[in-house]
Amino acid sequence: MQHRTIPGTDLSLSLLAFGNFIFGTNWWGDFTDEEGIALQNKAYDLGVTFFDTAPAYGNGRSEKLMADTIKYAGRDNLIISTKFGYDFYSDPGEEGGHRERKQDFTGKFIRFELETSLKTMGIDCVDLYQAHNLKLPQFSDDMFDTLEALKTEGKIRAWGVALGPAIGWREEGCQSFLDHDAATVQTVYNLYEQGPGREFCEIAAQRGRGGIIARVPTNSGILDEEFKSADHTFPDWDHRKFRDRNWLVYGLQKNDIIRPIAADLGLSIRQFAIKWLASQPGMVSIEPNIVNETDLKEYVSACDGSTLPQDVLDQLAKFYTEDYGLGDDAHPCDIKSSTAEGGAVRSSYEQPAGVA
């Protein structure tokens, strides 16, 4: 397992992250507490030391499961990240629901939520504290001042932003790095959806500070080869039913194009996709959904630090620029925006200010 230090911090993350979001919802199946803890512990046994959770995941359940793995592994052997911003106390949501819940990014709520998380997990400091699905109108001096104060007080070691729930939020990521010196930006970023993750990576690399945590690295299951047909039907509880159908139709065709390239390197498509991400500048950790030991072992083997050959990276860049030769319908989905009229813009690359 390769480990990467977030530039500007003393935090060294395993390249593979274990996000226990899956235990806070039934979107990936139902797990008993014992099953969830066993999978987390197995991840640690195989070299994963970076664990990412949040109080909003199962309204506290996922953090409770982390407490057991912290005891199993030993606090000093782990980098623990959790998040803040969802007030599930007054807006608990519904089991398996997709609705956004009430958010609160005031300094008072941040402190309350942090103390609750520390108590739940049985620790006295969070290594990485992430603003959970923060939007531009929620940026405030109160929030940033509180985060810096918590660092000074030794309650957190670093802070970042986790962007979502859907792909996008270019302005949030750029401003978090450039104006507020965030340690990390967590974003949807994968071989088939490269904007605005590529821009965030370039900013981090140019500054020499901060790093990117990639989530949804397998394009919502496409690069896992979870789907065999463009006619696949999603059940009501599956969040992917909301995706543009072209994501599925053309994702399968893109897989057909890259499969022989991956096979020549002795890799499955999802291992190939993980190694592509590992090759990106500014990348510090990659966080797929890990639902069983087979997933875990395959992802672990892809996170040994080896990257793809440059000629392959060049070919993939050309494929992406040309929508894999499949036409405009194969272009990545629109990305969400807090500033654009209508709330979304066409997926594209915009060279960040100050990046050569």
* Residue 292: strand, helix, or coil: coil
pLDDT at 95: 63
CATH superfamily of 3-345: NADP-dependent oxidoreductase domain (3.20.20.100)
CA-CA distance, 149 to 141, in Å (whole number)?
Answer: 12
Angle at 175 between CA 53 and CA 50, to 5 degrees: 25
pLDDT at 31: 83
CA-CA distance, 81 to 89, in Å (whole number)?
Answer: 21
Locate tokens 């992250």: which residue? 17
* Antiparallel, parallel or unpaired: β 50-52 and 344-345: unpaired
Locate tokens 């003393």: which residue? 10
pLDDT at 58: 81
Locate tokens 């010196």: which residue? 181
Take residue 6 and report the two structure tokens written for it: 């977030």
The three-state (H, E, C) secondary structure of 174-187, written as one string: HHHHHCCCCCEEEE
pLDDT at 97: 59
Q: Output the pTM of the full model.
A: 0.95
Specify whether the CB–CB gap between 40 and 66 falls below 8 A: yes
Specify whether the CB–CB gap between 183 and 9 falls below 8 A: yes
pLDDT at 356: 66
Q: Kindly report, residue by residue over 96-151, the tens digit of the pLDDT.
A: 555 677 899 999 999 999 999 999 999 999 999 999 999 999 999 999 999 999 99
> What residues contact residue 72 under an 8 Å CB cut-off, 6+ apart?
37, 41, 44
* Residue 185: strand, helix, or coil: strand
CA-CA distance, 138 to 272, in Å (whole number)?
Answer: 37
Specify whether the CB–CB gap between 324 and 330 falls below 8 A: yes
Specify whether the CB–CB gap between 303 and 16 falls below 8 A: yes
Take residue 135 and report the two structure tokens written for it: 């939007």
pLDDT at 295: 94
Per-residue confidence in pLDDT tens, the chain, 356 aa: 999 999 999 999 999 999 989 887 777 778 899 999 999 999 999 999 999 999 988 877 999 999 999 999 999 999 999 999 998 787 576 765 556 778 999 999 999 999 999 999 999 999 999 999 999 999 999 999 999 999 999 999 999 999 999 999 999 999 999 999 999 999 999 999 999 999 999 999 999 999 999 999 999 999 999 999 999 998 888 888 888 999 999 999 999 999 999 999 999 999 999 999 999 999 999 999 999 999 999 999 999 999 899 999 999 999 999 999 999 999 999 999 999 999 999 999 999 876 76
Can you give the length of the chain in residues? 356
CA-CA distance, 243 to 37, in Å (whole number)?
Answer: 31
Q: Helix 293-301 and helix 33-45: axis angle, to 10°?
A: 20
